[in-house]
Amino acid sequence: MMARRQDIRPDPLPDIAEPRRLEDALAAAERALGVHLVVNDHAAIFLDAAGEQALPAARRRHENPFCEFGRARSGWDQACLAHCGRDVPLKAAAFDRPFIHTCWKGAAEIVVPVHYEGAHVCTLFAGPWRSPKPCAAPLNRSIPEALATRHEQLPAFDRSELARLAGPLQLLGAGLVSLWLGQLRWGDEPDRVARIRRFVHLRSHEPIRLADLAKYLSLSPSRTATLVRQYLGQSFQDALLAERLRRAQTLLMHTNRSVKEIAQRVGFNSEYYFNRAFKKTIGRPPGRWRRRETRTAGGPTSPLEPLVPPL
């Protein structure tokens, strides 16, 4: 007589699609790979259900000892933000695979562009290592001795080691983004509605048009315009503007980037038009809105709460 087979019940582990689990996953990856990970979330995808940043501030900027050195010096922090916060992600948008980058202070890193449904949504930085190139401090004509000492203390650059890490880092970035977006934001919506929302959310920082969405949906522009108004209750341009302004509010609340840089990052070609659109929708210019909200004890329940309607 055959023994009755026992049912095997799975023992599920926690879902990463919540802020604490997301950070836990990144910290575990750091320990396993032996690197420091930074996430440049330029498409603002890692937001929780209330619109708050899901990643801690320390995860969104280079806070290892080498990168932190000299930040108080005049111009150094701005140079780091412009270089790794703006220039390198712009370069990464044109790549579909990891590459090696050396910062202006002489630290080598692996840069991992992460794409989702054709959009460059975030960039991972892993490192740092001691670059074969000598470090340089162009804002101060001489290299401070302390910086040179810290540079020598970085792990030695080994191209074969960096090449070995590229694959796991690429899988890590793609997996985190896919799980986060798929489970947290659009999992319960009909497919066509979810695709429209994803397209606007992920591509709003790019110069997209209704024709681009129509091509993505394999529909005519007129049919696409009808569906957008039917599903979202507003035109494509209004939905795009609302998404850009929501993202701008998040950056105004959680970063010290200038209004001009934020305007560029969220998809406005003109700082003047950004200021005008922000004031018309929110009720005050972005600079005044930022000062008012950051002065308020505790701030708003969500930086996305004011007048911009949700997608």
Please write the tens of the pLDDT for every residue from 115-164: 887 788 889 999 999 987 665 555 545 567 788 888 888 999 999 999 99
Q: What is the pLDDT of residue 4?
A: 57
Q: Where are the alpha helices (DSSP H) in the chain?
A: 19-33, 65-68, 76-82, 88-92, 145-153, 159-180, 191-203, 210-217, 221-232, 236-254, 259-266, 271-282, 286-295
Local confidence band at 311 (pLDDT 50, 70, 90 cut-offs):
very low
What CA–CA distance (Å, rounded) separates 227 from 7? Answer: 47
Q: What is the pLDDT of residue 167?
A: 93
pLDDT digit string, tens, across residues 52-109: 778 888 898 888 888 888 887 877 877 887 788 778 888 888 888 899 988 888 889 9
Considering only residues 210 and 78, tell me which one the structure prediction assigns the higher pLDDT.
Answer: 210
- Kindly report the number of other CB atoms within 10 A of residue 284's CB atom: 14
Q: What is the pLDDT of residue 224?
A: 94
Give the chain's domains with CATH numbers: 19-180 (3.30.450), 191-295 (1.10.10.60)
